A and B are shown apart, each in its own frame.
Chain A
Amino acid sequence: MTNTALFSTPTDVRSDLSGDRPGASRPGSSPRFRDLGRLMALMTGDEKHGPAATSTLDALWVLYDRVLRVTPASADAPERDRFLLSKGHGPMAYYAVLAAKGFFPEEWLAGFGSYDSPLGHHPDRVLVPGVEIGSGSLGHGLPLAVGTALGLRAQGLTDSRIWVLIGDAELDEGSNHEAIAYAGPAGLEQLHTLVVDNASATHGWPGGIASRFEAAGWSAQTVDGRDHEALYAAFTAPHPGRPRAVVARVEPKNA
């Protein structure tokens, strides 16, 4: 399902914009996708993980490894790309990717959820380097991402991209629909929403999730959420003048 060999020859259409992609900065020594299972096991004590824990893993990895222009060194730079994990539940994959990319030490992972650990069952931006928002309560990330896009644009930081990850059930929250309906007509080209769809929304999305975004004027595409090349292509497709939604389908939560 996952082809880790693909990571050896990334073709980054944005490499002319910045040389600080984590994958590019440490050739040869970079952690690989296959390392993430070991990192997640430090939190769960289990080499095998349920779909809920890993539904976001591939999409997160492709973003952090090949798309986002942010590193531990640039985590506070105004012009960095932002990734906002809105779906803060089950953040093990997120923590594993951040640890793999050096935002915090691997040793932190073993304390996951304990009193003295900065790593909670929902992430806290005040406690974890590289975490842009504290999340857990659903429906906050996309409105925050809209505001971040507005704020960066107002400051002339138009090369920064904002990514927000939500779940298909999280899309039920009305606050997301306020944000979707506003961001399309507002033409927030810097804004990107990644919907990880594990078919967990109670009433589903008749007509498909992408159609909801398209109806609001977004550029939208649905891809296999385990196919790294498909994710990468969807993440980097041009969408002039419009925000972009990528729906990453993974195996159903209750399958």
Chain B
Amino acid sequence: MDTMRDRFIATTSRLLDEEPRTALVLAEISAAGFEQAQRRHPDRVINVGIREQLLIGAGGGIALSGMRPIMHTFASFLVERPFEQVKLDFGHQNTGGVLVSAGASYDWPAGGFTHMSPGDVALLDTLDGWTVHVPGHPDEAEALLRHAVAGDDRVYVRLSQQSNSEARPVTGDRFLTLREGRGPAVVAVGPMLDNVLAATEGLDVSVLYATTVRPFDREAVRAAAGGRGDVVIVEPYLEGTSTTAANDALSDVPHRVLGLGVARRELRRYGTIDEHLAAHGLDPVSLRARISAFAEQGARGAHRRS
């Protein structure tokens, strides 16, 4: 199977052919994959070199000129390094654009922390009006990318090496309900789904699948949390990133929220993605233990209240 990044290159190359208002801005990363597209569209495939502030600033200028910029590099260099450019060159200018990252939280564990970006979504959460897509499969990445490019707003598409075994139908806005149960609503974000499904096998919980996390699907969470108001969010980036959004969705009812994700502490380990998932408690065994404990605490609490 191709990776999400492979699919991004193939899909964006086609979008450049199909849609003359699109422009792609690169800072060396993935440039080799776009050589053909660059030959076909020399004015709309722009590699600015290893210059990430210019990557975002130039994308902002392209948006001001009336086009639809797609900007791409590793998440660390796309969101974290030029963060003020993201904030001012799009939001403050009241323009739109599509940021597409690769690398995610630890797609290249042997590369170390310099190439890890678990905080990207939390950072974007400090800004207004960004839609955040976290696909869990290359097919979903293609669908969400096309959705993003067709619009006019500010969109972040977070691609990862991690992928679920099968693609789900994604709409670009709503969470999907995959299982219904009486216990907590477990929200699995993007590539966390396979582990969450394995972890919750046989548990009496609901499972929601989220590939568009901003805006947060309040209605789906409210409906799935039911009378008990227990929600678990399993995110492939910084732990607790969506806890506030879940709390806000349930602000008028008693509720508990457990946020699972990548720990804040720097691991200082290399190795493999699976080893990092286990270290952060995001493998199926760890998830099952943490979700079960949370569900049991809730059940005991409900029993005491009754």
Q: Which residues of B contact A144 (CB under 8 A)?
A: 57-58, 60-61, 64, 89, 93
**Is A181 located at the chain interface by the 8 A CB criterion?**
yes
**Is B54 located at the chain interface by the 8 A CB criterion?**
yes
**Is B48 located at the chain interface by the 8 A CB criterion?**
yes
- Give the residue of B54, B67, B69 whose beta carbon is less than 8 angstroms from that of A143: B54
- Give the residue of A143, A153, A155, A157 whose beta carbon is less than 8 angstroms from that of B60: A143
- Are A182 and B48 in contact (CB-based, < 8 A)? yes
In the assembled complex, the CB of A210 is this many whole angstroms from the nearest CB of chain B, namely: 21
Complex Cα distance A146/B49, Å?
A: 14
**Is B59 located at the chain interface by the 8 A CB criterion?**
yes
Complex Cα distance A144/B43, Å?
A: 16
In B56-80, the 8 Å CB interface with A consists of: 56-67, 69
Q: Which B residue sits closest to A185, measured CB to CB?
A: B49
Q: Which residues of A contact B63 (CB under 8 A)?
A: 147, 151
In the assembled complex, the CB of A83 is this many whole angstroms from the nearest CB of chain B, namely: 12
- Are A134 and B67 in contact (CB-based, < 8 A)? no
Complex Cα distance A143/B53, Å?
A: 8
Q: Which residues of A contact B69 (CB under 8 A)?
A: 147, 151
In A137-180, the 8 Å CB interface with B consists of: 137, 139-140, 142-155, 157, 174-175, 178-179
- Are B61 and A147 in contact (CB-based, < 8 A)? yes
**Is B92 located at the chain interface by the 8 A CB criterion?**
yes
- Are B92 and A178 in contact (CB-based, < 8 A)? no
- Are B43 and A150 in contact (CB-based, < 8 A)? yes
Complex Cα distance A139/B64, Å?
A: 17
In the assembled complex, the CB of A50 is this many whole angstroms from the nearest CB of chain B, namely: 27
- Are A179 and B23 in contact (CB-based, < 8 A)? no
Q: Which residues of A contact B59 (CB under 8 A)?
A: 147
- Are A151 and B57 in contact (CB-based, < 8 A)? no
Q: Which B residue sits closest to A78, measured CB to CB?
A: B66
**Is A239 located at the chain interface by the 8 A CB criterion?**
no
- Give the residue of B46, B85, B93 whose beta carbon is less than 8 angstroms from that of A125: B93
Complex Cα distance A150/B64, Å?
A: 11
Complex Cα distance A182/B59, Å?
A: 14
Complex Cα distance A143/B93, Å?
A: 13
In the assembled complex, the CB of B166 is this many whole angstroms from the nearest CB of chain A, namely: 38
In the assembled complex, the CB of A184 is this many whole angstroms from the nearest CB of chain B, namely: 12
Complex Cα distance A178/B193, Å?
A: 40
Q: Which residues of B contact A137 (CB under 8 A)?
A: 84, 88
- Give the residue of A134, A148, A179 whose beta carbon is less than 8 angstroms from that of B92: A134
- Count of chain A residues with Cβ under 8 Å from any Cβ of B? 32
- Are A181 and B51 in contact (CB-based, < 8 A)? yes
**Is A214 located at the chain interface by the 8 A CB criterion?**
no
- Are A143 and B65 in contact (CB-based, < 8 A)? no
**Is B297 located at the chain interface by the 8 A CB criterion?**
no
Q: Which residues of A contact B49 (CB under 8 A)?
A: 181-182
**Is A227 located at the chain interface by the 8 A CB criterion?**
no
- Are A132 and B64 in contact (CB-based, < 8 A)? yes
Complex Cα distance A124/B91, Å?
A: 12
- Are B54 and A146 in contact (CB-based, < 8 A)? yes
**Is A126 located at the chain interface by the 8 A CB criterion?**
yes
Complex Cα distance A153/B23, Å?
A: 11
- Are B48 and A178 in contact (CB-based, < 8 A)? yes
- What does the 1/0 interface line of B8-41 toward A look like (CB < 8 Å)? 0000000000000001010000000000000000
Q: Which A residue sits closest to B49, measured CB to CB?
A: A182
**Is B44 located at the chain interface by the 8 A CB criterion?**
yes
Q: Which residues of B contact A134 (CB under 8 A)?
A: 88, 92-93
- Give the residue of B43, B54, B92 whose beta carbon is less than 8 angstroms from that of A154: B43
- What does the 1/0 interface line of A61-88 toward B look like (CB < 8 Å)? 0000000000000000010001000000
**Is A133 located at the chain interface by the 8 A CB criterion?**
yes
In B136-152, the 8 Å CB interface with A consists of: none
**Is B94 located at the chain interface by the 8 A CB criterion?**
yes
- Are B23 and A151 in contact (CB-based, < 8 A)? yes
- Are A175 and B65 in contact (CB-based, < 8 A)? no
- Are A146 and B93 in contact (CB-based, < 8 A)? no
- Give the residue of B51, B64, B88 whose beta carbon is less than 8 angstroms from that of A147: B64
In the assembled complex, the CB of A217 is this many whole angstroms from the nearest CB of chain B, namely: 14
Known contacts A147-B62, A175-B57; is A154 also within 8 Å of B23 by CB?
yes
- What does the 1/0 interface line of B83-116 toward A look like (CB < 8 Å)? 0110011001110000000000000000000000
20 additional A-B pairs beyond A151-B69, A182-B54, beta carbons within 8 Å, are A133-B64, A140-B57, A140-B88, A140-B89, A144-B64, A146-B58, A147-B59, A147-B62, A147-B65, A150-B23, A150-B46, A153-B43, A154-B62, A174-B53, A175-B53, A175-B54, A175-B57, A175-B85, A178-B54, A182-B51
11 pairs from A and B in contact (CB 8 Å cutoff):
A82-B64, A134-B92, A147-B65, A148-B62, A155-B66, A175-B54, A175-B85, A178-B57, A179-B58, A182-B51, A182-B58
A residues with a Cβ closer than 8 A to B are 78, 82, 124-126, 132-134, 137, 139-140, 142-155, 157, 174-175, 178-179, 181-182
